Structure 1
């Protein structure tokens, strides 16, 4: 009986998060398709369909120069596949201004002895002059960066960093886990050798799959490096894709069906149209929250289209805010790291309607008013008005008590 009640509650959650997200009904149907064997032509065709759709999503112009491998694992799996496979014995520079840049650095340290780090505080833009100076004075083979730092909502510049990497003879790899599907990632113009992403964020599918899209010539070079992992060896994924239209290990086949459908939905809508719709929803949410006198951590010019990081008003606990919204079937993120207890985060991807957005803003207003009123009562409880004679008597009594 208890489990049935929980399911009823979960059915109406609105996930205002950067992932996982509410998925389209067509994906719920796709994930329940017929069982197939991953070593049969059916799966070969499914994998090929996903790859071609990914190349279209990235708007690759010279498609014959790029391939995309799909990995059963979260976005972190795709990032570790890149970091453990592309560096070899060379040197890699990690650029970090948030939690996921730090994760790239920690992952690279496991696999690459010559790992360098240039770091900014969370939510602070990169200093391109500093990066240029570092590349001019250090022999760096690979530059790695997170496109969208979910911890702050910062959207980092691809073209500028890609140009610097190319100028100094380094390849450029990008963590696009939370931006792909909502922001333009022009691999050709930005000199990106490899880009990772995930199924469950802006692409709008279920968690559990990730992918790496990259240049063929860079994929081919991977066989020159000694393997550092078994499951996440990118050279092996590429070889199985090229030679067999397969994955090297047993894939989560139902998730492949769902990802293929999610990509089909995007392409049916049109890539540019989808990006504009996600941006418009972000604008709608931000306008509604500004009208509630809420402040954002970043200037809007630096924000990704999928997420807004909001300062918590004084006297309000983030946990209380999150719990109250959850009671209304709305799920948000709390801040982490240096932002813990100071901010909350509102995503705007997945199957959310204009009505859902309006419901969120109105519910947020009501919850904030409720929590602020509660905090005011605690700080300065309302007292009944006391007449002057009684006050005089109380004062006398107090003086007697002190004596």
Structure 2
């Protein structure tokens, strides 16, 4: 392993993952703030600040029509709160084309007897004609979908599915766990009733908090449904927020301080600037990896901006690649499910500098060359003289658009 005196960059792990991420120094300070009681005005003010910043992050124009509840628990907790609370005795259709769509289905089956499923193979886009036909033939009250399917990196179409939900009288709920903070999610324009997300991915905070943002009129309807859980009852969260400005259960207060700081950092930078910077990082990494003759699982037009799923070159083990990169303090993801042993994933969110990205690309090149030499692999070798690209310059958009 290279000496840390020579390479100060190795003083920390570089998390090239879709979350958790390397956090900003300001968050390390925020999480260590003085202790407060969650039943005092100090916490009420903190929760109000977080909610208002979330509404700003989503760029919601008619703010008085939406609320956001914060839950102590991972993104899965927010999704289970939605799936256990919004369906009642109705029927729900889960759209799945990956691991997290399957998780939505597994969760819904536990809470909702009338759970339907339309499934595509991992990494395959939805057939909107098939969905429209299914909705015409079945009475569906709720449609649920993952926005960014992390297992493949695919970004699913919000506007199209939201339009189908509107046309067939269903409400649309979205798992935005890994896309919020990097991609525009137009709640009103895409007909989204509820959207979940997490603190520890593109928002850039510590793991352990999640939230649900939704329309007030939909939150109000939840009280008419029989509760299916205690801790994750969304109606209870909304009631406490509305009546007391608090959470119904003891929250992880230090994580709330950190989330508030992470949101402050985003809004200080500017939402559009933040999204553009994340995309520029993705572009830089993808250009660098293409110059190493690496291939991606998806066409770039269908990818989210937070990570890239990369095919492993012939005769190279993903585990060996991951372990060699870890020796250089670089952490990547291995593929799961049908992608296991075939791909690795490179995230580009959190506190990663241009230098970190250059270090990753040069280290990846060196590790691949060494592994290929060890395997005496002569099939599609990477280019030994590739020039690691400088950051791709992109114009900062005045406002990002929903991708559909």
TM-score of the two chains, using structure 2 as the length reference = 0.91
Residues paired across the two proteins, number: 372
C-alpha spacing 1:219/1:370, structure 2 compared with 1 (3 Å) = same
Q: Aligned residue for 1:98?
A: 98
Q: Aligned residue for 1:71?
A: 71
Q: Aligned residue for 2:197?
A: 197
Distance 1:143 1:318 in 2: 36
Q: Aligned residue for 1:255?
A: 255
Q: Aligned residue for 1:395?
A: none
Distance 1:137 1:265 in 2: 47
Distance 1:288 1:241 in 2: 47
Distance 1:11 1:211 in 2: 33
C-alpha spacing 1:11/1:225, structure 2 compared with 1 (3 Å) = farther
Distance 1:284 1:11 in 2: 23
Distance 2:155 2:271 in 1: 19
SS in 2 for 1:296: coil
Contact 2:92 2:116 in 1 (8 A): yes
C-alpha spacing 1:10/1:363, structure 2 compared with 1 (3 Å) = closer
Distance 2:378 2:45 in 1: 63
Give the C-alpha shift of residue 117 in structure 1: 0.1
Larger mean Cα displacement after TM superposition, 369-378 or 160-169:
369-378
Q: Aligned residue for 2:366?
A: 366
Give the C-alpha shift of residue 264 in structure 1: 0.2
Q: Aligned residue for 1:133?
A: 133
Q: Aligned residue for 1:4?
A: none
C-alpha spacing 1:46/1:328, structure 2 compared with 1 (3 Å) = same
Q: Aligned residue for 1:156?
A: 156
Per-residue CA distance 1:163-186 (angstroms, 9 max, x = gap): 000100000000000000000000
Instruction: Indicate yes or no: 2:220 matched with 1:212.
Output: no
Distance 2:84 2:23 in 1: 32
Distance 2:239 2:376 in 1: 64
Per-residue CA distance 1:263-308 (angstroms, 9 max, x = gap): 0000000000000000000000000000000000000000000000
TM-score of the two chains, using structure 1 as the length reference = 0.91
Distance 2:24 2:10 in 1: 16
Q: Aligned residue for 1:109?
A: 109
C-alpha spacing 1:287/1:231, structure 2 compared with 1 (3 Å) = same
Give the C-alpha shift of residue 312 in structure 1: 0.1
Distance 2:233 2:179 in 1: 24
Give the C-alpha shift of residue 12 in structure 1: 1.0
SS in 2 for 1:376: coil
Distance 1:127 1:363 in 2: 40
Distance 1:378 1:270 in 2: 47
SS in 2 for 1:292: coil
Distance 2:131 2:276 in 1: 32
Give the C-alpha shift of residue 377 in structure 1: 7.9
Instruction: Indicate yes or no: 2:226 matched with 1:226.
Output: yes
Distance 1:371 1:16 in 2: 20
Give the C-alpha shift of residue 18 in structure 1: 0.1
| RMSD over equivalenced CA pairs, Å | 1.3
Query: Based on CA coordinates, which of the two structures has the bigger radius of gyration?
Result: 1
Per-residue CA distance 1:49-72 (angstroms, 9 max, x = gap): 000000000000100000000000
Q: Aligned residue for 1:390?
A: none
Per-residue CA distance 1:88-109 (angstroms, 9 max, x = gap): 0000000000000000000000
Distance 1:171 1:59 in 2: 21
Contact 2:9 2:356 in 1 (8 A): no
C-alpha spacing 1:375/1:90, structure 2 compared with 1 (3 Å) = same
Unaligned runs of 5+ in 1: 1-7, 380-403
Q: Aligned residue for 1:278?
A: 278
Instruction: Indicate yes or no: 2:47 matched with 1:47.
Output: yes
Q: Aligned residue for 2:312?
A: 312
Give the C-alpha shift of residue 378 in structure 1: 12
Unaligned runs of 5+ in 2: 1-7, 380-404
Which 4+ runs in 1 deviate beyond 4 A? 8-11
Give the C-alpha shift of residue 220 in structure 1: 0.1
Higher normalized helix content (fraction of residues): 1
Distance 1:47 1:337 in 2: 38
Instruction: Indicate yes or no: 2:174 matched with 1:174.
Output: yes
Instruction: Indicate yes or no: 2:364 matched with 1:356.
Output: no
Give the C-alpha shift of residue 257 in structure 1: 0.1
Distance 2:221 2:94 in 1: 21
C-alpha spacing 1:110/1:10, structure 2 compared with 1 (3 Å) = farther
Distance 2:377 2:208 in 1: 46
C-alpha spacing 1:245/1:288, structure 2 compared with 1 (3 Å) = same
Per-residue CA distance 1:102-156 (angstroms, 9 max, x = gap): 0000000000000000000000000100000000110000000000000000000
